[in-house]
Structures are given as structure tokens and as C-alpha cells.
């Protein structure tokens, strides 16, 4: 008699939009890995559907909207009785973790982090502070080379870090997209390594021939405009980097694509300067394949960058910063250039655009990098193996995570009462203090 399929509930911060963000793309890769196992998947979110939401039901995944601070979720999860609950971003663990523990205590609780948000926010604040005391728009090397201890000290006193790290402790396993973030959490925050699993973007290497150098034109930048690092990169290109490129290539064109284009971005469009705001790309890989060089001048951020993996998938060399390349290439050469100043960024962009030999060498480096670090054929089975092993040893794993147990005891009790108070307030009744 065959065993029933493993039931997985994914609680998403938003409904997946893989053509709008790398975070959603990573969630879809995980879902596809589960589907390949024949697992029974339900996806829920308290968010409304976005403009570019993927049709999960077409893939055989049930879609169930849920509400914050509403006991209807209790009935829903009791009836579903999942074996694994995957929280997409730590805020979903904060909201629903206590309900999952109460009604499905034996379910494996997994957090998909996308990136370490407290690290990204702390770096953003460091950049703001830097700009207040130094208006130099060229050299940002002081932002790009902090030791892990400096990163910890930047984060440790923030409320966001305390909330996020607590959620990591409360879960049985956390999927980390960046090895740098794993090192930071283990060496500085003291998280047990067994709570963390490296799960980068998972891809199938391209098999078709790339479009050749002579058939490509223009520079390209791409990224969701709602994501603060992407918007900052656009501003740095507009004010500093792009004028330097145009000094050397007066006819150069930059095409900037991104979902949810705000008016402030549209206002930057200037055809005379070759600076084109193109809005959302229906097919990101198609426009990436037509470009000659991808630009990603990120001054802050965390995780790893989906746009740069897409560039490699399309055979498009890229120029980025140490923030953009962080956690992405290990000891392998970058498929393009990694720079710390606007002038070096512009010079390398121009050289890649005009030097076919260097361009082809960078393209090859991208293919090597994809094959070495991102194959789904390696990371998919490793994820499934880890989840199954943790299910089988759940009691032992939880007993060895005293800090997580302690945080669940205190945090979940307070979160539970707050949620019940909000629900009661919404219904204009007093909460039952005995529940």
C-alpha cells in the first residue's frame, strides 16, 4: 500500500509573481521541487493578488486566501493537517507560527527567508548615514567591505533584527539563499548551523546557443521598482554612472525594466540622454538576451540577485558591485566585472560593451558559474533530503534547540493574545483571557 503524499502548506507574504521579483522566483523553484516529489501543496496568503500573480492552480497547487488575526485559520489548518508548513518571509511566521504550533504541533516548520531583511535594512541605513556626511557619488568602497562583526554591530540593536533572528530560532529549519548570510548568523548571532540550509536560486542550465555579440545592442538594467536597492541603483545610474558611460559612448542606450513603475521613475526617462524607462518586461529573459551588457550598481542589499542569474542564463555579461556579487560566485571569476566606484563601473561597462573577446570570456564564466553553483539537479534533491530527515528526527532537533523553544513559549503566547485581542476588537467583543 502506497504512502499518502506529504502535505505541504506554504504561507506566503504575497502571492508569487516570478516575473516581478527574484524572491517569488525562488519560491516557485521550491514549489516545483515539491511538485516533482508528488507532494500535495496548498498555497495561502493574507495578501491580495498582485498584478502579475502566477496561476498556481494550473500547476496543481491549491490556492486558499487567509486572513490575519482571524480564528478561521485555526479551522483551516486543523482540517488540512499539513506535514510541513513553509513560511515565506519571517513576518508570516510571526503572524501564523503560534497557530500552526497549537493546531499542528508535529508539522515541520520551515522559513524561506529570500534574504536577510534586517541586514538589507541596516545596510540601507548605513548608506543614508554615509550620504549625510559625504556627498561623493563616485567611491562607495567604504560600504562594500565591512567585516561580519561590523555587520552584526550594525544590525544587533535594531528591532527588525531581533524579530527576524527570533523567527529563525523558532523554526525547525531556515532556507538561506546566501552563504554569506549563513556565516553571519552562525559566527555573529550564534545560530546553530543545523537550523540553516543553503538553498540558492535553483536553475536548469541553458542548452540553446546564446545570441552572439554582434546581434546584441544596448545596456540593460532590470528589477522591481518597489525594492529599495533597485530604485537606489536607478538613481545612481541616472545621476553619476550613465553620464560617465555616455561620455565614452555618446550613442549608448540604457533600457531599464521593472515591475510596478512609479511616476518618480517614469519622470527619469530621457530619450535624448539614452536613458529609457521601459516599465515591466513581459519576458525578462527575452529582453536580457537581446542586451549586450547588464548593469546592476547596487549600493546596498542582501541575499543573491535574480537579475544577475538571469543575465548568466542569457549569456549576458554584467557589471555590478560587491553587494551585487555577494554570495553568488564563491571562488569562481565573475562573468563581467565587480567594481566599487562609479568611474570603474562605467569604464568596465564600456570595455565589456566594445571588447568582443572580453565579452565572450565573461559569457563563458557565467555558464561555468551556473553549472557549478546553481543546478536544480543538486539543490532540489538536497532540499528534499533535508526536509525528510528533519521530519524523521523532529523531536530530537527541537529538544536541542532550547532558545527556539523558549522564544516560542514567550513570543507565541504574547502574539496569540494580541491576535485574539485584535480579532475581538474587530468584532467589538472582549477577548477571553482564559484562552
Query: Between vectors from CA 190 to CA 328 and to CA 301, what angle results, nearest 5°?
Result: 35
In a domain, 124, yes or no: no
In a domain, 135, yes or no: no
Model confidence band, residue 142 (pLDDT cutoffs 50, 70, 90): confident
In a domain, 140, yes or no: no
pTM more than 0.85: yes
What residues have CB less than 8 Å from 170, skipping those under 6 apart?
Answer: 93, 97, 109, 404, 407, 408, 411, 412
pLDDT for res 433: 45
CA–CA gap between residue 109 and residue 427 (Å, rounded): 30
The last residue of a domain, from among 374, 390, 409: 374
Cα 318 to Cα 291, 307, 311, 387: the distances in Å are: 10, 10, 7, 35
pLDDT for res 4: 83
CA–CA gap between residue 165 and residue 157 (Å, rounded): 12
Residues 197 and 296 in one domain: no
Residues 160 and 220 in one domain: no
Q: Which residue has the higher pLDDT, 50 or 169?
A: 169
Check if the beta carbon of residue 20 is closer than 8 Å to that of residue 50: yes
Domain count, the chain: 2
Residue 123 predicted with pLDDT over 90: yes
pLDDT for res 12: 96
Burial of 431 from C-beta contacts in 10 A (0-12 / 13-18 / 19+)? middle
Residue 424 predicted with pLDDT over 90: no
Residues 370 and 382 in one domain: no
Model confidence band, residue 192 (pLDDT cutoffs 50, 70, 90): very high
Backbone angles phi, psi at 393, to 5 degrees: -120, 30
What percent of the chain has pLDDT above 70? 94
Residue 100 predicted with pLDDT over 90: yes
In a domain, 136, yes or no: no
Residues 271 and 341 in one domain: yes
CA–CA gap between residue 367 and residue 219 (Å, rounded): 20
Model confidence band, residue 20 (pLDDT cutoffs 50, 70, 90): confident
Residues 291 and 412 in one domain: no
Residues 312 and 336 in one domain: yes
Residue 428 predicted with pLDDT over 90: no
The β-bridge partners of 20 are none
Q: Average model confidence (pLDDT) for the chain?
A: 92
The last residue of a domain, from among 334, 355, 374: 374
Residues 169 and 25 in one domain: yes
pLDDT for res 270: 96
In a domain, 129, yes or no: no
pLDDT for res 435: 42
Residues 272 and 183 in one domain: no
Question: What are the pLDDT digits (tens) for 313-371?
Answer: 999 999 999 999 999 999 999 999 999 999 999 999 999 999 999 999 999 999 999 99
The last residue of a domain, from among 333, 354, 374: 374
Nine cell digits for residue 56 = 498556481
In a domain, 139, yes or no: no
Residues 364 and 385 in one domain: no
pLDDT for res 294: 98
In a domain, 134, yes or no: no
In a domain, 261, yes or no: yes
Residues 389 and 356 in one domain: no
Nine cell digits for residue 223 = 528589477
Residue 225 predicted with pLDDT over 70: yes
Question: What are the pLDDT digits (tens) for 233-292?
Answer: 999 999 999 999 999 999 999 999 988 889 999 999 999 999 999 988 888 999 999 999
pLDDT for res 184: 97
Q: What is the mean pLDDT of residues 47-69?
A: 93
Range of the domain at 404: 7-118+147-202+377-427
Residues 177 and 76 in one domain: yes
Lowest mean pLDDT among 11-15, 387-391, 419-423: 419-423
Where residue 329 sits, what CATH number does that domain have? 3.40.50.2000
Lowest mean pLDDT among 12-26, 99-113, 237-251, 386-400: 12-26
- Angle of helix 306-313 relative to helix 22-36, nearest 10 degrees, comes to 70
Question: 3-state DSSP call for residue 326?
Answer: coil
Check if the beta carbon of residue 18 is closer than 8 Å to that of residue 24: yes
Check if the beta carbon of residue 199 is closer than 8 Å to that of residue 385: no
Amino acid at each position: 500500500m502506497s504512502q499518502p503524499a506529504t502535505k505541504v502548506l506554504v504561507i506566503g507574504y504575497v502571492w508569487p509573481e516570478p516575473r516581478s521579483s527574484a524572491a517569488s522566483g525562488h519560491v516557485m523553484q521550491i514549489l516545483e521541487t515539491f511538485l516533482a516529489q508528488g507532494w500535495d501543496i496548498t498555497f495561502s496568503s493574507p495578501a491580495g493578488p498582485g498584478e502579475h500573480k502566477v496561476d498556481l492552480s494550473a500547476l496543481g497547487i491549491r490556492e486558499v486566501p487567509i486572513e490575519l488575526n482571524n480564528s478561521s485559520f485555526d479551522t483551516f489548518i486543523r482540517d488540512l493537517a499539513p506535514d510541513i508548513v513553509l513560511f515565506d518571509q519571517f513576518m508570516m511566521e510571526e503572524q501564523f507560527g503560534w497557530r500552526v504550533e497549537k493546531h499542528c504541533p508535529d508539522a515541520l516548520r520551515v522559513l524561506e527567508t529570500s534574504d536577510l531583511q534586517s541586514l538589507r535594512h541596516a545596510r540601507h541605513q548605513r548608506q543614508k548615514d554615509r550620504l549625510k556626511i559625504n556627498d561623493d557619488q563616485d567611491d562607495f568602497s567604504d560600504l562594500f567591505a565591512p567585516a561580519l562583526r561590523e555587520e552584526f554591530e550594525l544590525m544587533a540593536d535594531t528591532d527588525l533584527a531581533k524579530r527576524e533572528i527570533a523567527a529563525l530560532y523558532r523554526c525547525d529549519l531556515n532556507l538561506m539563499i546566501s552563504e554569506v548570510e549563513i556565516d553571519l548568523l552562525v559566527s555573529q548571532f550564534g545560530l546553530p548551523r543545523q537550523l540553516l540550509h543553503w538553498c540558492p536560486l535553483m536553475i536548469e542550465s541553458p542548452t540553446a546557443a546564446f545570441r552572439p555579440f554582434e546581434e546584441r545592442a544596448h545596456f540593460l538594467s532590470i528589477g522591481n521598482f518597489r525594492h529599495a536597492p533597485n530604485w537606489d541603483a536607478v538613481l545612481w545610474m541616472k545621476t553619476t554612472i550613465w553620464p560617465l558611460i555616455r561620455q565614452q559612448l555618446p550613442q549608448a542606450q540604457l533600457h531599464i525594466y521593472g515591475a510596478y513603475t512609479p511616476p518618480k521613475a517614469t519622470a527619469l526617462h530621457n530619450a535624448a540622454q539614452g536613458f529609457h524607462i521601459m516599465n515591466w518586461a513581459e519576458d525578462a529573459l527575452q529582453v536580457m538576451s537581446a542586451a549586450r551588457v547588464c548593469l546592476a550598481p547596487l549600493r546596498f542589499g542582501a541575499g543573491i540577485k535574480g537579475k544577475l542569474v538571469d543575465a548568466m542564463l542569457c549569456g549576458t555579461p554584467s557589471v555590478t558591485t560587491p553587494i551585487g556579487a555577494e554570495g553568488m560566485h564563491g571562488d569562481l571569476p565573475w562573468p563581467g566585472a565587480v567594481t566599487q566606484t562609479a568611474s570603474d563601473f562605467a569604464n568596465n561597462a564600456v570595455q565589456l560593451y566594445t571588447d568582443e573577446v572580453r565579452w565572450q570570456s565573461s559569457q563563458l564564466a557565467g555558464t561555468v558559474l551556473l553549472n557549478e553553483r546553481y543546478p536544480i539537479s543538486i539543490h532540489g534533491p538536497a532540499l528534499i533530503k533535508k526536509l525528510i530527515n528533519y521530519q524523521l528526527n523532529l523531536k530530537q532537533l527541537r529538544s536541542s534547540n532550547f532558545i527556539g523553544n523558549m522564544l516560542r513559549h514567550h513570543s507565541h503566547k504574547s502574539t496569540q493574545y494580541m491576535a485574539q485581542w485584535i480579532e475581538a476588537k474587530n468584532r467589538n467583543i472582549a477577548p477571553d483571557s482564559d484562552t
